[in-house]
């Protein structure tokens, strides 16, 4: 809203809705961080415990198959239109039969126009060919979805339009479908019930050790220095 990206009538309708929550609205549409507090749902120590990955991936490792594939998670942040793309490798654990997830890279686009962010995302897509791109369709996220579902010319390359695969939102974007549309966008517009389900699921994934993260920069530098010696 602070960037003039949302229609004023759209904002008025949101505020008039019976489910309107001021804190949530300011966070998603007003670019105001609401912070965290003691007793937060996620303990930072859980993330630290599973920082085990020593190498980021800048392209697929060549082992993608029905048992190994990539997923992109995209969120348009609350400050200065900063968009984050999280690249997740999903692998079937042959021992447990469960799907293990590894966050193998993150790309951050700050102060970039949505059209430029769209071009970068489609460039990344062509490298990793993820099975799905999960995007937050709440708040500023809607401004990024619009160019993603259209043909994009970026840095001299023309990229195909993306199609929406989430059942709840398919109809909203059917008019943009072209013969070469790639069905890959999964839009999430969270509500209280979905938030609860997502929190419970991610908590189970974290506590169960089914998510791994890259080691932090300091640890990586220490390991690199020890190898040189």
d(CA 184, CA 161): 10
Identify the top-confidence range among 31-45, 64-78, 128-142, 150-164. Answer: 150-164
* Mean pLDDT to the nearest integer, 141-160: 95
Domain boundaries, the chain: 60-216
The pTM assigned to this predicted structure is 0.78
CB 192 within 8 A of CB 24: no
Q: Which pLDDT value is given to residue 199?
A: 87
CATH architecture of the domain 60-216 equals 2-Layer Sandwich (3.30)
C-alpha dist (Å) from residue 41 to 54, 133, 196: 27, 25, 11
Q: Which residue in this structure is represented by tokens 């220490």? A: 222
Rounded percentage of the chain residues whose pLDDT exceeds 70: 77
CB 161 within 8 A of CB 176: yes
The residues, ordered by sequence, that sit 6+ positions from 3 with a Cβ below 8 Å of its Cβ are: 31, 81, 140
pLDDT class of 140 with cuts at 50, 70, 90: confident
pLDDT class of 36 with cuts at 50, 70, 90: very low
Q: Are strands 99-109 and 211-214 parallel, antiparallel or unpaired?
A: parallel
C-alpha dist (Å) from residue 86 to 7, 69, 99, 143, 216: 28, 14, 17, 19, 16
Q: Which pLDDT value is given to residue 5?
A: 45
Q: What is the biggest distance separating any 2 CA atoms in the chain, rounded to whole angstroms?
A: 64
For residue 28, is pLDDT > 60? Answer: no
Q: Are strands 157-159 and 152-154 parallel, antiparallel or unpaired?
A: antiparallel
C-alpha dist (Å) from residue 174 to 8, 146, 216: 25, 12, 42
Identify the top-confidence range among 57-66, 120-129, 211-220. Answer: 120-129
For residue 21, is pLDDT > 90? Answer: no
CB 101 within 8 A of CB 210: yes
pLDDT digits (tens, 9 = 90+) for 76-121: 865 556 789 999 999 999 999 999 999 999 999 988 889 999 999 9
Q: What is the mean pLDDT of the chain?
A: 83
pLDDT digits (tens, 9 = 90+) for 165-209: 999 999 999 999 999 999 999 999 888 888 889 889 988 998 889
């Amino acid at each position: 809203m602070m960037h003039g990206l949302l229609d004023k009538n759209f904002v008025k309708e949101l505020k008039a809705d019976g489910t309107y929550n001021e804190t949530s609205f300011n966070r998603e549409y007003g670019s105001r961080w609401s912070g965290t507090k003691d007793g937060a749902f996620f303990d930072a120590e859980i993330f630290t415990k599973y920082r085990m990955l020593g190498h980021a991936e800048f392209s697929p490792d060549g082992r993608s198959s029905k048992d190994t594939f990539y997923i992109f998670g995209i969120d348009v942040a609350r400050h200065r239109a900063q968009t984050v793309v999280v690249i997740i490798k999903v692998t079937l654990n042959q021992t447990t039969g469960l799907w293990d997830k590894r966050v193998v890279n993150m790309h951050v686009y700050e102060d970039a126009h949505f059209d430029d962010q769209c071009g970068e995302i489609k460039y990344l897509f062509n490298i990793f060919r993820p099975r799905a791109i999960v995007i937050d369709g709440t708040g500023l996220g809607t401004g990024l979805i619009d160019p993603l579902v259209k043909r994009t010319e970026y840095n001299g390359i023309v990229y195909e339009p993306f199609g929406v695969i989430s059942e709840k939102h398919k109809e909203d974007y059917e008019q943009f479908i072209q013969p070469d549309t790639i069905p890959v966008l999964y839009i999430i517009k969270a509500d209280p019930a979905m938030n609860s389900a997502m929190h419970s699921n991610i908590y189970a994934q974290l506590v169960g050790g089914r998510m791994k993260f890259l080691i932090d920069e300091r640890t990586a530098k220490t390991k690199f220095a020890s190898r040189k010696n």
